[in-house]
Amino acid sequence: MSCRSVLREALSVVSPIACAGCGRPDVELCVDCRRRLVPTVGTRDLTSGLTVAWGLEYRFEVRRVVVAFKQQGRLRLGPRLAPALRAALAEVDAPGTGASLVVPVPASASGLRRRGYDPMGILLRDAGLGPDPRLLVSVGGGGPQKRLDRVQRQRERQGTLRCRADLTGRRVVIVDDVVTTGSTLLEAQRALTERGAHVLGAACVASTPSTGSQI
């Protein structure tokens, strides 16, 4: 057995690791799961006319990788997810339009306390999109939405975001990790538009398979 193999075995005992996508042992992300993270961009228009683009389908291995990054502290997966966000952004902000601001949907206060980090802030950095400008802030409400339908989610999210700056005449793209019904993106669009922004669209890492039938 080589020294490298011995060292890897020793490290796996101290700090065991498995592929975030399929669970294969002793690797952060296996070759097969890396292939599944190659972006395939999809788009959809929300009821407000907001165009949403995403780089991946949020299911199977992709879903597990996103959850591992967002909820389990496996932050080294960020550079693997960043290409999907960049691809979605390129679809919304086509060459020549020149969006001046990329505005992320903010994490909730409870989510920040629970995780101890901001997934979107890290993902923006890994995607080379610069620091989070913190233009959108949460202003309460918007509890767990997993069991709510599209209409209930939109009602729950209404008025939960506020834009902190005058964006009159500024062109912006909203970014988020996963789009489901689109209620959070619609609320972000409302908050930004109220402060004068021209929202070009929204770019997300992934979309749930049900997105197309719910927005």
What percent of the chain shows pLDDT beyond 90? 66
Within a domain: 138: yes
Within a domain: 133: yes
Among residues 162, 160, 188, 163, the alpha carbon closest in space to that of 174 is found at 188
Q: How far apart are CA 204 and CA 210, in angstroms?
A: 15
What percent of the chain shows pLDDT beyond 70? 79
Number of domains in the chain: 1
* Higher-scoring residue by pLDDT: 116, 148: 116
Q: What is the mean pLDDT of the chain?
A: 84
Within a domain: 165: yes
Helix (H, G, I), strand (E, B) or coil at 11: helix
**Mean pLDDT throughout 45-66?**
96
Within a domain: 15: no
Within a domain: 84: yes
Rounded to two decimals, the pTM is 0.83
Domain that holds residue 207: 40-214
What pLDDT is stored for residue 108 in this prediction? 82
Q: How far apart are CA 163 and CA 30, in angstroms?
A: 40
pLDDT tens, position by position, 21-47: 999 999 999 999 999 999 999 999 998
Q: How far apart are CA 205 and CA 55, in angstroms?
A: 5
Q: Tell me, what CATH number does 209's domain have?
A: 3.40.50
CB 192 within 8 A of CB 199: yes
